[in-house]
Amino acid sequence: MISTELLLYCIGAAGAYLFVISLIWEYAGIKMKIYRGIPVEILEPIGKAWFMMNFVMELLLYVVIPALVYSYFYIMLPLSGIRTGVAGALFAFTLGAVPAIVGLLTRTRLPALLFSYLLFGVLLKLAGCLVIIGYLYQL
């Protein structure tokens, strides 16, 4: 049986973490001029609408779906709590983000700094969200 209250706490806490980290990460990217050298034709202008669209997409993929899956399977998982969150984040990162971004790096002439920025951002957001979900289910 899924605890709806615990699920909502997980979504709220991990969503708040994701929002703060996304704000900080985008601000750091602007300050580092991470998008310098990319043609204007292929670059989406960064604004509030872009940020919110990206945040909602990440909220679904990094928070809502993992929280729902974890709520169903946390009893059967061999690890518990924070260790499960870290293991899940590394698994998803290694099998999901790394091949896609590294494949794109080898096929385009975009700066490698942009790809490392994207990879580290995905790892930071995903690991933080899954650690929060695992910790709250451990309590």
Put simply, whether the predicted model's pTM sits higher than 0.85 gets the answer yes
Q: Is the pLDDT of residue 47 over 70?
A: yes
| Residue range 111-138, pLDDT digits in tens | 888 899 999 999 999 999 999 999 998 8
11, 67 contact by CB (below 8 A):
yes
- 70 to each of 92, 121, 122, 124, 127, how far by Cα in Å? 14, 22, 19, 19, 14
* Token pair listed for 111: 């700066």
Give the tens place of pLDDT for each residue, 9-27.
999 999 999 999 999 999 9
Which residue range(s) make up the domain with 21? 4-138
Percent of the chain with pLDDT over 90: 56
CA 60 to chain CA centroid, nearest Å = 10
Percent of the chain with pLDDT over 70: 99
**133 contacts 67 by C-beta, under 8 angstroms:** yes
As for how many domains the chain has, the answer is 1
Pinpoint the alpha helices (H) of 32-111.
Answer: 48-58, 65-73, 82-92, 98-107
Three-class SS state of 3 = coil
pLDDT higher for 79 or 27? 27
